[in-house]
Amino acid sequence: MTDAPHRDTAALVIGGTQGLGLTIAARLVAEGCTRLVLAGRDAEKGQAAARRLGAAFMAVDLADARAVIDLVDRAAGAMGRVDALVNAGALTDRGSILDTTPDLWDRVMAANARGPFFALQRLAQRAVEGGHPAAAVNILSMVVHCGQSFLAPYAASKAALANVTKNAANALAGHRIRVNGINCGWMDTPGEDAVQRRFHGAGDGWLAEAEARQPFGMLVKPDHVAGLAAYMLGPRSGVMTGAIVDFDQNVSGAYPE
């Protein structure tokens, strides 16, 4: 197998301007990808990231389904086609079953489930029209199994996207379009740092304290997950489709002994 498995890949990474999305994009470049579009809301951050990777940046509001569909078309126009998609963007606003408002529910579901659905749909439509294979990875979360009480709309949105992952994988297999997902555990990212400070009053030492409580002495690291995402998108994963991998150090369904 080639040492540059992504040398022929034309990839669109939504939510690719920081954190896990950016790390996945960097891994694709390291594995030979030269046609790459990063998409996100923050133009300044996105353009800086794109320059570092030799990629293009396209602004998008993930909650705007029409804009997401147009994004896939724009990316395909810039690269010739899109045959690899990463849905890594998401809102993590807090809300429980007792205090989530209809507005919060709609915003989170629009960005975390509806937007990725229509990005995947447009990728698939174009691949079918163009007669070429494609692959997509949806970044999910361990919260699909339940989630903390303060993550009710976020957990619901990721659970919806988990179903989309399997449903689409089944529907698109005959077109040689593979769709897989990763349930990420608690991860060390700039976005998580901002969330901890904004919603939980965390100070500068929160990460060290959190990691000291983990079985492996660390939170999940983006580079670890990026390797799996790149594998799922590339030829080394063969016919793998419809898989959702728990990427965490805490086993879902386990109980204290």
Active site residues: 154
Q: Which residues contact 103 (CB under 8 A, 6 or more apart)?
A: none
Residue with tokens 């439509």: 125
Tokens encoding 14: 């939504």
Tokens encoding 63: 């909650």
Measured CA distances, 247 to 95, 150, 226 (Å): 24, 21, 11
Give the dihedral sign, CA 188/52/36/27.
negative
Residue with tokens 């805490």: 250
250 in helix, strand or coil?
coil
